[in-house]
Amino acid sequence: MGKVLIEKMLPVLRVTKWPESTEATQLGRQAYLVGLDKVDEFADDPKTLTSALRTFQSGESRPYAFAGVAYTLIRASLEKDGSYSQEGLDASLDWLEKAQELAPDLLEINMIEAFIYIYGGRLEDARIILDYLESIDATDYHVLVAEAAYWSQQRKLKETVHWLEKAISEADTVPRKLRLRAKMGDTYLSYGMDDQALEVYKEAVHFAKENPRLWHKMSIANWRLEDFDEAARCNQRALSLREDYPEALKMQASLKEKQDSGGLARRLFGR
- Segments making up each domain of the chain, as ranges: 1-104, 110-172, 175-271
Does residue 262 carry a pLDDT above 90?
Answer: no
Q: How far is CA 189 from the centre of its chain?
A: 15
Does residue 239 carry a pLDDT above 80?
Answer: yes
CATH 1.25.40.10 correct for 175-271: yes
Same-fold call for 110-172 versus 175-271: yes
Q: Tell me, what's the pLDDT at 92?
A: 98
Q: Tell me, what's the pLDDT at 45?
A: 84
pLDDT tens digit sequence for 40-95 = 999 878 899 999 999 999 999 999 999 999 999 999 999 988 999 999 999 999 99
Does residue 268 carry a pLDDT above 80?
Answer: no
Does residue 263 carry a pLDDT above 60?
Answer: no
Q: What is the DSSP string of 140-207?
A: -HHHHHHHHHHHHHTT-HHHHHHHHHHHHHH--SHHHHHHHHHHHHHHHHHTT-HHHHHHHHHHHHHH
Sign of CA dihedral 32, 210, 199, 239: negative
pLDDT tens digit sequence for 210-231 = 999 999 999 999 999 999 999 9
Q: Indicate the pLDDT class of residue 267, thresholds 50, 70 and 90.
A: very low
DSSP symbol at 78: B
pLDDT tens digit sequence for 6-39 = 999 999 999 999 999 999 999 999 999 999 999 9
Contact 2, 46 (CB under 8 A): no
pLDDT tens digit sequence for 111-135 = 999 999 999 999 999 999 999 999 9
Burial group, residue 192, by CB count within 10 angstroms (0-12, 13-18, 19+): exposed
**pTM of the full structure:** 0.90
The fold of 110-172 is 1.25.40
Longest dimension (CA), the chain: 76
d(CA 144, CA 123): 16
Q: For the stretch 24-56, what's the b/e string if a residue is b when 16 or more beta carbons lie within 10 angstroms of its beta carbon? A: bbeebbebbbebbebbbebeeeeebbeebbebb
For residue 255, give Cα distances in angstroms to 55, 71, 101, 168, 228.
40, 37, 53, 34, 7
Q: Tell me, what's the pLDDT at 1?
A: 72
Give the pLDDT mean for 84-112.
97
Does residue 186 carry a pLDDT above 90?
Answer: yes
d(CA 271, CA 269): 6
pLDDT tens digit sequence for 161-179 = 999 999 999 999 999 999 9
Does residue 269 carry a pLDDT above 50?
Answer: no
